[in-house]
Amino acid sequence: MTRHADHTSSQFSGLGLVHRPRRNRKSDWARRLVREHQLSVDDLIWPLFVCEGQSIREPIASMPGVFRHSVDQLVEQAKQARDLGIPVIALFPYTPPTLRDADGSEALNQNNLVCQACRAVKSAVPEVGLLTDVALDPYTSHGHDGLLQDGHILNDQTVEVLVRQAVVQAQAGADIIAPSDMMDGRVAAIRAGLDDHGFHDVQIMAYAAKYASAFYGPFRDAVGSNATLVGDKRTYQMDPFNTNEALHEVALDLEEGADMVMVKPGMPYLDIIHRVKDSFGRPTFAYQVSGEYAMIEAASANGWLDGDKAMMESLAAFKRAGADGILTYFAPRAAEKLLKR
Ligand code: PBG
């Protein structure tokens, strides 16, 4: 065995240290052997945007590498998810402006974009799980997640609509309903609505701790709600300065029957993910949102950081914080890297 002498002096016999943490980092195999957390393809949920038309793949300027796909193209993306082993895709529609109204009524159309996409993906790629977002913002002319009256978002009336939206999505084949609206009491109401219609096995992943965040900007470009949004969402999404309130929100959603909970955004809220997982020990997901993706991509495009490495490091952070899985626009890229190893 070769001994690595200290190069500064051949006489130097070392510090007599008992603890040398660097030993466990001396090579790739040694680092892998003691690695505390793992990221696998099974941890990934891939959000995808759907638009009208045929053979369409429309770039989103603020999210380089992300596209809006027409339903036929979306099916191809779902096949890619299957081939990579990504368990779930999440669908978000770009509703044509002419179909947006004050009540978001297109959300209840059984033939809206999301429902068409669900049916097409379910029949072509039944192996992939389908998550659909419940909230009215892609459908309302004012860009809010709920019904708006005299500048106020109506809670209970909105919940009634959300229940119907969830049932319509389940009828189209959604496997996981993900309410992202932050209305009070919606999880219990949606659970009851799904059960009434025989959808006992449709899961609910609650956007339980969702903050009023600037990091959703590029997403709102993607679904076209930036152009329409009147005011902000601070009367329903959470104040970024709060922690205990997040635990309260999560406790309520679990009590109301959520099967899984989510914290959103991701990287600026790792402390919340950690506390949620620690306090409840239930399936906990992080949403690495559009603005987080855009930041990494923008810096990488400028040559300011290595995009692939920053991507993997950001995903490692979620696992370290305690997340069971991550919704991320990086899903296919990360999956390819993970499978190549
Ligand atoms: C809609 C919704 C939003 C996101 C997911 N669902 C935006 C918002 O609440 O304004 C954001 C996702 C992202 O930024 O990637 N309720």
Q: What pLDDT is recorded for position 10? A: 62
Low-confidence residues in the chain, pLDDT < 70: 1-10
What pairs with residue 326 in β-bridges? 44, 286
Q: Is residue 10 part of a domain?
A: no
Q: Is residue 22 part of a domain?
A: no
Q: Is residue 34 part of a domain?
A: no
Q: Which domain holds residue 277?
A: 40-340
Q: What pLDDT is recorded for position 52? A: 98
Q: What pLDDT is recorded for position 3? A: 53
**Structure tokens belonging to residue 125:** 């790629």
Q: What pLDDT is recorded for position 4? A: 54
6-7-10 Cα angle (round to 5): 75
Q: What pLDDT is recorded for position 46? A: 99
Q: Concatenate the DSSP letters of all residues of 151-215 into one string.
A: TEEEHHHHHHHHHHHHHHHHHHT-SEEEE-S--TTHHHHHHHHHHHTT-TT-EEEEEEEEB--GG
Q: Is residue 31 part of a domain?
A: no
Q: Is residue 3 part of a domain?
A: no
Q: What is the CATH number of the domain that holds 219?
A: 3.20.20.70
Give the residue numbers annotated as catalytic, written as ranges: 210, 264
Residue 132 alpha carbon to ligand 1 centre in Å: 12
Ligand 1 atom closest to 216 (CA) = 14
Residue 249 alpha carbon to ligand 1 centre in Å: 18
Q: Is residue 23 part of a domain?
A: no
Ligand 1 atom closest to 217 (CA) = 14
What is the CA 108 to chain-centroid distance, rounded?
Answer: 23
Residue 229 alpha carbon to ligand 1 centre in Å: 12
Q: What pLDDT is recorded for position 1? A: 43
pTM of the model: 0.95
Ligand 1 atom closest to 180 (CA) = 16
Q: What pLDDT is recorded for position 341? A: 75
Best probe residue, ligand 1, of 91, 114, 180, 213 (max atoms within 8 Å of C-beta): 180
Q: Is residue 213 part of a domain?
A: yes
Query: Smallest Cα–Cα separation from 296: which of 316, 315, 311, 286?
Result: 311
Does residue 97 have a cis peptide bond before it, meaning omega lies within 30 degrees of 0?
no
CB-based pocket (< 6 A), ligand 1? 133, 135, 137, 145, 180, 216, 219-220, 289-290
Q: Is residue 74 part of a domain?
A: yes
Q: What pLDDT is recorded for position 107? A: 98
Number of domains in the chain: 1
The string of pLDDT tens digits covering residues 71-84 is: 999 999 999 999 99
The string of pLDDT tens digits covering residues 232-262 is: 999 999 999 999 999 999 999 999 999 999 9
